[in-house]
Amino acid sequence: MKLRLAKWLVGVLLLPLAVALTMTFGRVVFILAQSPARLPMLPAAACVAGIAIWAIIWLFLPPLTRTYVLGHELTHALWTILFGGRASRLRVGENGGSVQVSKTNVWVTLAPYFFPLYTFMVALLWLLAVWLFPAVQPYAPIFLFWIGLTWSFHITFTLRFLGFSQPDVREHGRLFSYALIYVINLATIGAALVAASSWTYRGAAADVLDNLVWLGQAARTFYGWAITRLPDFAA
């Protein structure tokens, strides 16, 4: 009971961070819109094309549910191994899947919702290819196409499955789980956009802190206003 209450309190504390990150995310998008010349046209177009292709697949073709479930369960297994555990008995089906793990925690349980396994695999494959065969670097747009496609695959299926009553989410509480998943996903996407913009990570981090300070001041102002108006409402 105490642990669940602690997670609920952490979830509450994550809400201002989620709002601050959203504000910073909006700013980096605005920066990119103001300086589109900074983005190399071909790589940017390749990434957008990957997102667009997945959108077409998502809207008009049968959902690749089994592919997502496989990645979901493999992510549980991977994070279990990262924390020193073991995974076995992988089962995948159209209606869900399971994997038996010897060690679990909040990161193992919620990892499939914030860690895009297929995107990670594409990135790892590209890094290995560049390391072993430097001549492949001109083919970076192909890599970015698959980054865009797999990342949008992750986001769409994450949103879809979070709409159901997920045992992973219930285990740690909805407020804590949703807040943590949102913050990590937005921070990851935002970091990628900052890398492509004229902004620096230090500047983006400072902006997040400034937003948190502003939110704190706004909350204090609202609290002061509410206290002064409370007698009027009571009357």
Q: What is the 3-state secondary structure (H, E, C) of 136-183?
A: HHHHHHHHHHHHHHHHHHHHHHHHHHHCCCCHHHHHHCHHHHHHHHHH
pLDDT of the residue at 199: 81
Q: Give the DSSP letter of residue 76.
A: H
Residue (of 197, 200, 201, 199) closest to 37 by Cα position? 197
Using CA atoms, how far apart are residues 223 and 235, in angstroms rounded to an integer? 19
Mean pLDDT of the chain: 86
pTM of the model: 0.87
Q: Is 151 exposed, middle or buried (0-12, 13-18, 19+ CB in 10 A)?
A: buried
The model's pLDDT over 149-183, given as tens digits with 9 standing for 90+, comes to 999 999 999 998 887 777 888 888 889 999 999 99
